[in-house]
Amino acid sequence: MSKFLSFAGAALLLATTTLSVGPVAAATDGVKNIVLVHGAYADGTGWKAVAELLIKDGFKVSVVQQPETSLEDDIQATQRILDLQDGPVVLVGHSYGGQIITDAGNDPKVKSLVYVAALMPDVGDSVLSLAKTMPSPNDDVKATKDGYLYLDPAKFAEDFAADLPAKTSAFMAISQMPAALKAFSTPTKKAAWREKPAFAILATEDKALSPDLERWMYKRAGADVTEVKASHAVFMSQPQAVADVIKKAANASK
C-alpha cells in the first residue's frame, strides 16, 4: 500500500500581472489566470520559481495550500481559489495534485489542465488503485499511527528530489506535511480531462511516481506530453520547462 506514494509540491500566493516577455506568446493572448496545486508531503512554496517565471510573462498566479486531510477537503480548497479568479483558468497539479485537479477541473472557469509528474486518474481511479497497476520505484513511504503517510526522510532526496541542491532536499525532508491515507483511497468522480484539453510533463528520472505509469496514464487520456529529464521535483529543478508547458496550455485555450 505504501509503494509509490512519494509526492510533493510547493509555491507563492496570488500574484499580480506584468507585461509578458519571452518566446511563448503573452498571457493576454490566451488564459491569464494560473492556479497551481502542490502534491503530497509538502506545501505550495516549491512552485516559487515557476510562479515567478509566469508572473514575469504576464500571468496572474495563485497557489492552493490544501490540507491533505482528504481528497474532498483538497478539492474544496482548490475550489476556494478557483472561485477567487476573475476569468478563465489553467489548472496545474503536481503529483497527488493531479488527482485533485482531475475533479476540481470540472469547474467552468477551468479551460485546460496541466499534469506535472502527476497522477491522471479516470473515473473510479484512486492513488492506491493506480499504484497497484505497475511496480513502484520505491518502498519508502511510512505511516503514522493515526493514518497519515510520509516519505522516509533518509530517502527523501533520493526518491523525490535527486536533482535539487542537498540543502534544499534536506529541508524538504524535515518539513514535509503528512497526507491522509484516506485521501489516497478515494476515487475520482468525474475526470475533467475527458472534456478539456490536457497537457502533461513526464519526469523521466522520477523515483517517486513511476515514469511508466505516468506515460500510461497520459497516453490513456490523450494528453499533450512533454518529457523532461528530471526527478519528481521537476517543478523545482526545471521551472522553465514547466512554465513553458503551462504557457502552451494557456495559449491553446484562446
pLDDT reported for residue 21: 29
pLDDT tens readout for residues 11-50? 333 333 322 223 344 444 689 999 999 999 889 999 999 9
CA distance 28 to 26: 5
Does 117 reside within a domain? yes
Does 18 reside within a domain? no
Does 81 reside within a domain? yes
Contacts of 54 (CB under 8 A, 6+ apart): 15, 27, 34, 61, 243, 246, 247
Q: Are the CB atoms for 99 and 40 separated by under 8 Å?
A: no
CA distance 63 to 37: 6
Domain with 127 in it: what CATH number? 3.40.50.1820
User: 48 lies in which domain range?
Assistant: 27-251
Flag whether pLDDT at 8 surpasses 60.
Answer: no
Does 206 reside within a domain? yes
CA distance 105 to 114: 10
Instruction: Cite the beta strand spans of 95-190 per DSSP E.
Output: 110-116, 141-143, 148-151, 179-180
Does 17 reside within a domain? no
Does 2 reside within a domain? no
Flag whether pLDDT at 5 surpasses 50.
Answer: no
CA distance 181 to 158: 23
pLDDT reported for residue 29: 64
Does 1 reside within a domain? no
Does 14 reside within a domain? no
Q: How many domains does the chain have?
A: 1
CA distance 35 to 233: 18
pLDDT tens readout for residues 78-103? 999 999 999 999 999 999 999 999 99
- The percent of the chain in helix, strand and coil, each rounded to the nearest 5, is 40, 15, 45
